[in-house]
Amino acid sequence: MAGQIIKRGDKTWVVRIFQGRDENGKRRYINKTIHGTKKNADKYLTAKLRDKDLGINIEPASESLSKYLDKWLETSVKPRVRPRTYDDYVSLMTRYIREPLGAIKLADLRPIDIQKVYQSMQERGLGPRVVRYTHAVLSSALKQGVKWDMLHKNPASAVDLPRMVRKEMKAMTPAEASRFLEAVKGTRQYALFNFALTSGMRPQEYLALKWSDVDLERGLATVRRAIVWKREKGGGWAFAEPKTSRSRRTIPLPASTVKALSEHKRQQGIERLRLGSDWQDYGLVFPTSIGTPYTLSSLTNKWLKPALIKAELAGFNLYSLRHTHATLLLANGENAKVASERLGHSTIVLTLDTYSHVLPDMQQEAAERIETLLFKTGS
């Protein structure tokens, strides 16, 4: 007998499906309690027997979601992603998923369970980006569960996600950028902020830049690595591969930046001699006063914020310097492909999408150039 339905009470049925015999010859069954009419139980039994005939594993995974996530992270994620990405996955699952859902059996996890977690995250003030990133990781884990024949389908695929609201990129005007540079002139960080504005590099890239990556004679800087700060207990930092393959790039620098870098290198040499063995030499272009890498928070709080206050500017962060670089280039007619290559974007589409606020002015200027070329020549 492949399956049977046993009445257990008023509108309660137990569906038993024969799963063969174990190593001791004892019969194995899957038991599922169905609440409702006998027709509901018949429908469930028919569906499961059909799946069994098709070779689909119908035995529910008995382990908890939390234990499954441990297995997925260790065997599927860790071997194929960068350490920083792995740490992000672990952090997201620990912070938002394990406590509300971790004790639920993997086979019993329902879309409504996941939906409630996402709703709770939004009610706590977390934005759509965090919810969507958490969903992407959880959904990837459950999708692997389907591949491993532990789940019949991915419950995360039936969940509604919050609408993504694009955050407006804030960039300085040319006058504001000049005011900002004037505010840091004469400080140890002048070369760093000058470089950030004129190269368009990500903070993680220029904080990992070594003097071996800079050709002062030719005015070039090459991105070969990024710096990451470890989130696990004990912290620390490490060099990592750049964000994407396109992030590996060589950027021509303006003469004023090359001059600032040359002076910065000279001053850094004096610092090294003064500190002697206390200087920690990682070959960095923009290290702390003892040679170690900056964290984003220390660079922001100790140097950026005071400079912004002095320049009477507000609402900017380290990434604003990168956005300022891109916005000024595009607003002044630079080819979008050139801007994309300087920024290290994976595609030109990403550049145009990110800086779409600049496009209306560019379109107007293009129309005016066509007018001049076609109708005002020779007049």
Quote helix, strand, coil % in the chain, to nearest 5. Answer: 55, 10, 35
- Among 23-32, 216-225, 270-279, the least confident range: 23-32
State residue 372's pLDDT score: 74
DSSP 8-state secondary structure symbol assigned to residue 196: H
Q: Does the pLDDT value for residue 190 go beyond 70?
A: yes
Per-residue pLDDT averaged across 74-82, rounded?
91
Identify which of 37-51, 141-155, 177-191 has the greatest average pLDDT: 177-191
Closest by CA position to 62, among listed 93, 34, 90, 30: 30
State residue 233's pLDDT score: 58
Label residue 374 by pLDDT band (50, 70, 90): confident
Q: Which helix (H) or strand (E) holds 7?
A: strand 3-9
- Give tens-digit pLDDT for 193-241: 999 999 999 999 999 999 999 999 999 999 999 998 876 656 688 888 8
Give CA angle at 327 (325, 330), nearest 5°: 105
Q: Tell me if the pTM is above 0.75.
A: no
DSSP 92-156: HIIIIIHHHHTTSBGGG--HHHHHHHHHHHHHTT--HHHHHHHHHHHHHHHHHHHHTTS-SS-GG
- CATH of 65-158 among 2.40.50.140, 1.10.150.130, 3.90.190.10, 3.30.420.240: 1.10.150.130
Task: Write out the CATH class of domain 174-364.
Answer: mainly alpha
State residue 47's pLDDT score: 81
Percent of the chain with pLDDT over 70: 89
Label residue 371 by pLDDT band (50, 70, 90): low
DSSP 362-376: HHHHHHHHHHHHHHS
**Beta partners for residue 238, in sequence order:** 228
Label residue 378 by pLDDT band (50, 70, 90): low
Cβ pair 226, 218 in contact under 8 A: no
